[in-house]
Structure 1
Amino acid sequence: MKKRFLALAIASSLTLMACDSNTPASENSVNSETKQAEHPLIALHSATEKDVKAIAESLQVKYQVLTNIPSEQCNKDIADGLCFEAEIAFTATKAISAKDWRIHFSQISPIQSYESDQLSVKHLNGDLHLLTLKDNFTGFAQGETKRLRFRAQYWSLAESDAMPNYIVSADNSKAHVIESTKPYIDEETGLEMLSHVVAITDHEKQFKRNAKDKTQWLNSASLYQRNAEMFDSHKLALQPTIAKQIIPTPKSVTYRDNGATVDVAKGLKLDLGNVSQQGVDAALARLADLSVNISSAKDALPLVLNIAADDSKPIGSYHLSVTASGIAVEGVDETGVFNGLMSLASLVTLGSNSLPLLEVVDEPHYAFRGMLVDVARNFHSKAFILDLLDQMAAYKLNKLHLHLGDDEGWRLEIPSLPELTQIGAKRCFDTQEQNCLMPQLGAGVDENSSVNGYYSVADYQEILKAATARHIQVIPSLDMPGHSRSSVKAMTARYKKYQAQEDEAKAKQFLLDDFDDTTKYSSVQFYGDNTINVCLESSYDFVIEVMTQVKKIHAEAGQPLTRYHIGADETAGAWVDSPACKAFVANNDKGVTDMKELGAYFIERVAGILSDLDIETAGWSDGMEHTRKENMPAIVQANAWDALFWGGHSKVHGLANRDWQVVISSPDALYFDFPYEADPKEHGYYWASRQTNTEKVFQFMPDNLPVHAEFWFDRNENPYEADDTKTPLVSGTRFLGIQGQLWSENTRTDNTVEHKVFPRLLALAERAWHLADWAVPYNYQGAKYSQDTNAFTSEMQQQRDKQWRVFAQTLGQKEFAKLELANIDYRLPTVGAIIKAGKLHANIAFPGLTIEYQVADGQWQRYQGPVEVTGDVKVRSRSLNGNRAGRTTSVKQAG
């Protein structure tokens, strides 16, 4: 799931250490722009607090990817010799005569080797690196640049790979963030930017992953062509159609009286029937936000609610009727009534009081319609989560998977274990990690930064209550046994605290680490100390304590904890030299006879602990698949995240054939931290896909995973084959649902989260709720699929694209206005444009949004049709309310 592209490509369990290689004289220009002979004599002195602060304020840093083409200097023993080359340039705007200072910085993958005549660098842990000064360091003359050229494994294809907040420090001095590496917020887009990152411009060296990479850089011209093929040749008078649209699409809609409407300007007179006020308050509040109010006026339109239980229909099913004389919503349960009211809200077009007369009979395709948000790597505020819950409910998503614990942060207060949040919830600069974690992921030194933080019990219970009011289940996750560094370090700090008090029993009570373990390993994110020791009884005491507390917190908030996500991530190679584990395996009273069985044993045992607490177990597929079914509870949820082009459907089917509840979490379409489009300025990691736009999410057919080989490509944009003849689903087997994922390694602000989640969340909701009539039914006999097969027929594609056009225009002309009303910073699309015969032609993926253009750095103007232009031209989109702009792109002359 959260594995980076560089870790997934080739599993590596090596502990990586940087190599110090001397630079040939011919390469001196790489290292310093001032020749040694010409360097002014600088009397060096050990750095003081004043020096460190001055360096932080004046040193200019530039980070630049040079090439992704492996050279002979790449380490052939790591990642099959795949590596990229980059350079960090340090320029002194003021002379620096201090020595003995150092820089800590985050780098997406460990540096293998480097060249610099006066600087040294080594990988510490995770993505944290240390740059130090060599003994021959001569200081910086004013204006001098020293360069560090290095190689790191795999690739760096996006500008967002670089991390902010380089930290300069010295002995007996406070650490400071180098000003030139601090992020800033772009006033037009509202997104975080990094000024020290040099733009990627070279298609062959910087943009492509390797020689086989067929990915095309999506420029304004190619985007124009794509938009034109989808919309321009299908001119439709869609406004009346869009007014009738409900997202997600209902199972059945019948329109009355040839497009007749009813006016709701005078409000709705509510008759709750047998429905509780509490159960529908949130839906009524959304209607009110959209200017459809509950009224006591005599001429208000009646709104009658009713529950008519029907066990033959799925939970959440409903019947909505809009007539000239009134509106009726009937659900099979209270959730169904709530969903019916949300469909009524979906019919609303802002600025209009008219609703179409219709009848809706609707039910969900999947029981589990989820969204994961990772708040562990970088914290995201309670306000964001509450806003997200509003939008999830509006589009009938019903599961919020909150990823609350990982290597870089623990985000939930556990009152009996205060160290988890006192230490594990913040990153600052503490090399002993007794007061905070070290600043991985470019966190900086400020423990009060927005990337730090946690939900207090009161905060979390507010989230739970808001979710309950919106008929959403919160599924918490505190990852274990891997991805657990924050809890491991917090419990180590707890141990030291109580050891100092000479209370050894309390010190060891919840210890997660065997201090005598000399195992050298590297996790998928390059940590060598992030895994709970599964052979210590105190580790299980910790799990019991945490889960007992979390269950209590849920109960007090009125949303019982019925399902918990273990995470179930393991770390290959951990524990092998742990004395505790050697003794555990030798003892052999737990059925474990090999170190390789320890991870599965931990998951099985934790699942048993959860069962004893009456909590169902969920986990990620890669950890869960190693367990023995007979040792697992009867009900198990497995989130299947394997990439389809790597044959991921086979693992998914294997888990489903265990009779487990499988939640499809395929990264090909459902990882919302991935870039929307293939452009190095698009934000996000990309190990499975470099272009996951809203349309691709809309195209997803979760019931039939292998069929995507007919029209999707692998991560290098090459065709692939999916062979489903070996592990087809057992006849009649179905998946529990689907889930979108937002991982937060380089997602530091709430605005960036919203930019990544929206509008993809609306397409997620469409696929989770509605079974498209163009979807290819699953073939339980098994089949092979490729670009040469035709299970997904041209007629199906035409139907899909027709429905996408309506969906896209509904977003652009109706739903985006609602998102803006709720202050959701959804991603504004980049604009397609060409210049042909001296005229600018522009289009957009969501017709209805404003297009703007700029000629020769002049004023931005609204595009209303082909217009004559001369000189350099740029285009961008603008939000309906005018408050935000999309990313600016340059326009190319048509060939």
Structure 2
Amino acid sequence: MIQRVVFTLLSVLLVQYGARSQSTAQKYDPSKLDLVWEVVEEKYQNKPQTLSSLTLKNTGQQPLPASGWALYFHASPSFKAEGANAPVKIEHVNGDLLRMVPTSSFKRIPAGSSQKISIVSGGQMINESRAPVGFYLVWDDNKAKGHRVGEVTYEKPTKNMVGWIEAKEVYAQNKAIKDIPVEKLTKVFPTPASYTETGKGITLTPAVPIVADKTFSKEAALLAEYLGGVFGQEPPVQPTATGKAIRLQKKDGLGPEAYELQVTPQEVVISATTPAGIFYGTQSLKVLVPPTALASPQKSVEIVGVKVSDNPRFGHRAFMMDVARNFQKKEQVLKVLDLMALYKLNVLHFHFSEDEAWRLEIPGLPELTEVGSERGHTIDDGENLQPSYGSGPDVNASSGSGYYSKQEFIDILKHATARHIKVIPEIETPGHARAAIKSMDARYARLMKEGKKAEAERYLLRDLNDKSEYQSVQNFNDNVMDVALPSTYNFLEKVTDEILAMYKEAGAPIETIHFGGDEVPPGVWEKSPAAQKVIADNPKVNNTDDLWYYFFANINDMLKKRNLYLSGWEEIGMRKVRKEGKMTYIANPDFANENFHVDVWNNLGSNIDLAYRLANAGYKVVLTNVTNMYLDLAYQKAYEETGLNWGGYVDVDKPFYFIPYDYMKNMKVDTENNPIDPSIYADKVRLTEAGKKNIVGLQAPLWTEMLTTPEKFEYMLLPKLLGLAERAWAPDPAWANEKEAAKGETLYQQAWSEFVNVLGKRELPRLSYYLDGFNYRIPTAGAVVENGKVLANVQMPGLVIRYTTDGSEPTAQSKVYSGPITAKGTVKLRVFDPTGRGGRGVTVENK
């Protein structure tokens, strides 16, 4: 009897297993599901929202079932299916990850058929950066596995529903730009404090030696390496020489980064007090080399005769490189450092930790990179983090995953130090910390399984009993460290000490660590037992708001013990207070004299004057204004342009015309590029003389949510970074201080013309070849029809406009624009660089 029952049960199980296996084998192939995204209507229903459609096209041999699956993708949580009986429901998972699940209204899609789904989302689809990305499918019976779908197509809207910039508007913007002969341009960039051309230059060959004081041997070696690339062989470096030579010599009394450069027919002499000064002198010599000399090895190069005396305007000239949202390999970081050095930027703010990833190996905390550096489909973030920004379901299949080993980071530090660039590491705290939190959760789970409870809890970053509810700006509900836990400080001390050990091994200087501090949402810590205990035990902590000051006081003490000062985003210097019945923020007097360095990005709305308020209060301020310095913002309002636009649009002119000590004077347009009435700034706080001394420098960040390749990264980086380089190094321009508006505008237009001519005729051609070339953005042509003729211009004279009249896209072999085009019909224009690489084309109709 027992044997018969057992046999029957086994038979049933085998039948069920066989049926399940057969069902799985016959399941639809997700790679046969193609998707088409299309914007249908902007300002849908006269609201600030967009109606779009997603078409599911079944290219396979089997039907897509009516249920049993979910389609995951990345977008704003505002995305919702349209209609009361919509065939799908869209759910927010976490962060930017959403999933679409079929409802009872969804009908299976037969092979060769398609189904269109209407979707409403907040805001406007300015460009493809607002569209959903990273689609993949998950079956209900195996929710741990994600499957890539087929081809995803984004249809450009046929109507200009959002006011995209047109060729005639670009033409109007460019109209005031003068074409300045190259011989009349300043040949050293950024613009030096004092520059004179003598007319008597020198011919350099690989036989011309570099003669250097021993103090400057490292700078001499780097210069020899560069010239070796120009000539195909390095010139000798020696302590003495007679005759023609490049001489690096010490001169007392100059500033810490100042130098003098003189070029005569017999020698190049670079003088400075410090190695940094000598280094910047060698960078000026490098940009005196004609750009075309970098295209192929040269037997000799002609260097114009100059006399230069130079020093920087600001001591802190920073670029912030985000490698957390999307990863860039070590080689790309080194390339960026070389680019920064060429243009005399001296601080790399290294943003390696975020909600979406932790990118630096920390000895003793392997989960930070084993879990925190990898993104892919997951149920619980236990082995890797969830996908973000379209990184997809597969770990290590995109720039969503990756990290720097200890040795790679040491290599980066050595490379930066040799080029007189300080690297400021950023450990995001207490918000934007999801990668660290989930990594330490994984560590906790591992050690608890091993029965090591105390060790498991040592570095926990969240209170396991916390029931607080919140949602961050990036839509995460679990991304804030619990600042009441002793284990949080254990973690931060451990990471800090391991980072300091890497700096020591690299021989790199470090004065500060950046601890983030921005965008912690309301609601955090309110239901944390650990937080409530700190509030009860500490007379200075009366509520969860006070935990903020408690946290940064502790971090500040920890850093001071290590002879470091604290850097962070603006919020580390702010205090929440109630004023006239409303909650507002003021400069926190508690930390005003603690040498806090704050990167102030927010100059929007009521925070227009925030940087000046903090500087006047005693904080050291790095101007990082979103309206002028955020390199990830789109160049212009065009569908094809990558980039966000929440803070406006940033082309190369925005950092160029930034006025550090009176930036409200340069805020000419709003976030939609519409003119601003200056009277709105009448009641805003201005910089005092004492506050002026607290402006330590400028910084341009490049956030990488949309930048999944080095090419996309470089497109957004350049040429905008050159505007920052000019404003951070060059002397205060006359137009910035001119009180008469008309005269100031005339002075500005002349300076702007000189700047874009230098870019178009010298620096962008140089960057076409330097370090094997950069994928800088080539501007679109401006074009207008007047009197039956097409007129065209370009933002950067020196770059070439080519055109066609047969409807084809212009190539490097198309006709060069040299004057008005009389041909009727469709005229297409496109700008090209010296290598034949073209920018985005424009079309005009000459009727």
Instruction: Indicate whether the TM-score tops 0.5.
Output: yes
Give, in angstroms, the shift of residue 614 of structure 1: 1.8
Counterpart residue type for residue 542 of structure 1:
F
**1:604/1:284 CA distance change after superposition, 3 Å:** farther
Query: Quick one: which of 240, 247, 252 aligns to 2:194?
Result: 252
- The answer for the alignment partner of 1:104 in structure 2 is 72
Give, in angstroms, the shift of residue 599 of structure 1: 2.1
- The answer for the alignment partner of 1:887 in structure 2 is 840
Which aligned pairs between 1:366-445 and structure 2 lie closer than 5 A?
366-445=314-393
- The answer for the alignment partner of 2:142 in structure 1 is 172
Counterpart residue type for residue 865 of structure 1:
S
Give, in angstroms, the shift of residue 179 of structure 1: 2.0
- The answer for the alignment partner of 1:684 in structure 2 is 643
Give, in angstroms, the shift of residue 344 of structure 1: 1.3
Query: Quick one: which of 698, 709, 713 aligns to 1:753?
Result: 713
- The answer for the alignment partner of 1:126 in structure 2 is 95
Counterpart residue type for residue 535 of structure 2:
V
**1:137/1:351 CA distance change after superposition, 3 Å:** closer
- The answer for the alignment partner of 2:531 in structure 1 is 581
1:86 is paired with a residue whose SS is strand
How many residue pairs get aligned? The number is 792
- The answer for the alignment partner of 1:355 in structure 2 is 303
2:429 is paired with a residue whose SS is strand
- The answer for the alignment partner of 2:796 in structure 1 is 846
Instruction: Confirm or deny: 8 A CA contact 1:108 1:162 kept in the other structure.
Output: no
1:197 is paired with a residue whose SS is strand
Alpha carbon RMSD of aligned pairs, Å?
2.6
Instruction: Confirm or deny: 8 A CA contact 2:422 2:509 kept in the other structure.
Output: no
Give, in angstroms, the shift of residue 446 of structure 1: 2.5
Give, in angstroms, the shift of residue 248 of structure 1: 0.4
Query: Quick one: which of 12, 33, 42 aligns to 1:59?
Result: 33
1:277 is paired with a residue whose SS is helix
Instruction: Confirm or deny: 8 A CA contact 2:353 2:435 kept in the other structure.
Output: yes
Q: Distance in 2 between matches of 1:50 and 1:166?
A: 23
Query: Quick one: which of 32, 48, 56 aligns to 1:90?
Result: 56
Counterpart residue type for residue 144 of structure 1:
S
Q: What is the CA deviation profile of residues 671-692 of structure 1, one whole-angstrom value per residue up to 9, with x for unaligned ones? A: 10011112122110111113x1
Counterpart residue type for residue 66 of structure 1:
V
2:319 is paired with a residue whose SS is strand
Q: Check if 1:669 corresponds to 2:610.
A: no
Give, in angstroms, the shift of residue 404 of structure 1: 0.4
Which piece of structure 1 moves more, 793-802 or 454-463?
793-802
Query: Quick one: which of 303, 313, 338 aligns to 2:246?
Result: 303
1:306 is paired with a residue whose SS is strand
Q: What is the CA deviation profile of residues 83-127 of structure 1, one whole-angstrom value per residue up to 9, with x for unaligned ones? A: 433332212234425330111111134335643533221111111
Counterpart residue type for residue 90 of structure 1:
L
**1:398/1:495 CA distance change after superposition, 3 Å:** same
Give, in angstroms, the shift of residue 851 of structure 1: 2.1
TM-score, normalized by length of structure 2? 0.89
Q: Distance in 2 between matches of 1:49 and 1:309?
A: 79
Gaps of 5+ in 2: 1-18, 294-300, 576-586
Q: Distance in 2 between matches of 1:716 and 1:69?
A: 19
Q: Distance in 1 between matches of 2:684 and 2:172?
A: 40
Q: What is the CA deviation profile of residues 595-622 of structure 1, one whole-angstrom value per residue up to 9, with x for unaligned ones? A: 1122232122112212222222111113
2:666 is paired with a residue whose SS is helix
Q: What is the CA deviation profile of residues 613-641 of structure 1, one whole-angstrom value per residue up to 9, with x for unaligned ones? A: 22221111134323844357732111010
- The answer for the alignment partner of 1:41 in structure 2 is none
Q: Check if 1:333 corresponds to 2:299.
A: no
- The answer for the alignment partner of 2:676 in structure 1 is 719
Query: Quick one: which of 721, 728, 740 aligns to 2:700?
Result: 740
1:818 is paired with a residue whose SS is helix
Counterpart residue type for residue 58 of structure 1:
K
Q: Distance in 2 between matches of 1:666 and 1:112?
A: 33
- The answer for the alignment partner of 1:192 in structure 2 is none
2:262 is paired with a residue whose SS is strand
Counterpart residue type for residue 265 of structure 2:
A
Instruction: Confirm or deny: 8 A CA contact 2:784 2:791 kept in the other structure.
Output: yes
Instruction: Confirm or deny: 8 A CA contact 2:826 2:846 kept in the other structure.
Output: no
**1:300/1:847 CA distance change after superposition, 3 Å:** farther
**1:745/1:48 CA distance change after superposition, 3 Å:** farther
**1:772/1:118 CA distance change after superposition, 3 Å:** same
2:154 is paired with a residue whose SS is coil
2:609 is paired with a residue whose SS is helix
2:777 is paired with a residue whose SS is coil
- The answer for the alignment partner of 1:186 in structure 2 is none
Q: What is the CA deviation profile of residues 138-195 of structure 1, one whole-angstrom value per residue up to 9, with x for unaligned ones? A: 31123433333233334432222224320101123742111213xxxxxxxxxxxxxx
Counterpart residue type for residue 777 of structure 2:
R
- The answer for the alignment partner of 1:22 in structure 2 is none
Q: What is the CA deviation profile of residues 472-515 of structure 1, one whole-angstrom value per residue up to 9, with x for unaligned ones? A: 00111121111111111111111111111111111111111122
Which aligned pairs between 1:595-674 and structure 2 lie closer than 5 A?
595-626=544-575, 628-631=588-591, 634-643=594-603, 645-674=604-633
Which aligned pairs between 1:525-536 and structure 2 lie closer than 5 A?
525-536=474-485
Which aligned pairs between 1:159-558 and structure 2 lie closer than 5 A?
159-170=128-139, 171-172=141-142, 174-181=145-152, 196-204=153-161, 207=162, 217-231=164-178, 235-236=179-180, 238-242=181-185, 244-256=186-198, 259-265=199-205, 267-291=207-231, 294-295=235-236, 301-310=244-253, 313-351=254-292, 353-448=301-396, 449-558=398-507
Q: Distance in 1 between matches of 2:740 and 2:500?
A: 46
- The answer for the alignment partner of 1:213 in structure 2 is none
Instruction: Confirm or deny: 8 A CA contact 1:370 1:397 kept in the other structure.
Output: yes
**1:397/1:855 CA distance change after superposition, 3 Å:** same
Give, in angstroms, the shift of residue 52 of structure 1: 6.0
Instruction: Confirm or deny: 8 A CA contact 2:573 2:619 kept in the other structure.
Output: no
Query: Quick one: which of 826, 831, 849 aligns to 2:781?
Result: 831
Instruction: Confirm or deny: 8 A CA contact 1:165 1:178 kept in the other structure.
Output: no
Q: Distance in 2 between matches of 1:573 and 1:892?
A: 56
Q: Check if 1:766 corresponds to 2:720.
A: no
Instruction: Confirm or deny: 8 A CA contact 1:650 1:724 kept in the other structure.
Output: no
Instruction: Confirm or deny: 8 A CA contact 1:305 1:337 kept in the other structure.
Output: yes
Q: Report percent identity of matched pairs.
A: 28
Which piece of structure 1 moves more, 316-325 or 139-148?
139-148
Which piece of structure 1 moves more, 351-360 or 476-485?
351-360
Q: Distance in 2 between matches of 1:53 and 1:756?
A: 40
2:590 is paired with a residue whose SS is helix
Give, in angstroms, the shift of residue 425 of structure 1: 0.4
Query: Quick one: which of 680, 700, 708 aligns to 2:666?
Result: 708
Q: Distance in 2 between matches of 1:357 and 1:84?
A: 59
Give, in angstroms, the shift of residue 201 of structure 1: 4.1
Q: Distance in 1 between matches of 2:527 and 2:430?
A: 17
Instruction: Confirm or deny: 8 A CA contact 2:259 2:272 kept in the other structure.
Output: yes
Instruction: Confirm or deny: 8 A CA contact 1:274 1:306 kept in the other structure.
Output: no
**1:696/1:631 CA distance change after superposition, 3 Å:** closer
Q: Distance in 1 between matches of 2:271 and 2:525?
A: 57
Q: Distance in 2 between matches of 1:724 and 1:533?
A: 41
Instruction: Confirm or deny: 8 A CA contact 1:126 1:440 kept in the other structure.
Output: yes
Q: Distance in 2 between matches of 1:550 and 1:228?
A: 51
**1:329/1:300 CA distance change after superposition, 3 Å:** same
Q: Check if 1:810 corresponds to 2:752.
A: no
Instruction: Confirm or deny: 8 A CA contact 1:220 1:892 kept in the other structure.
Output: no
Q: Check if 1:873 corresponds to 2:827.
A: yes
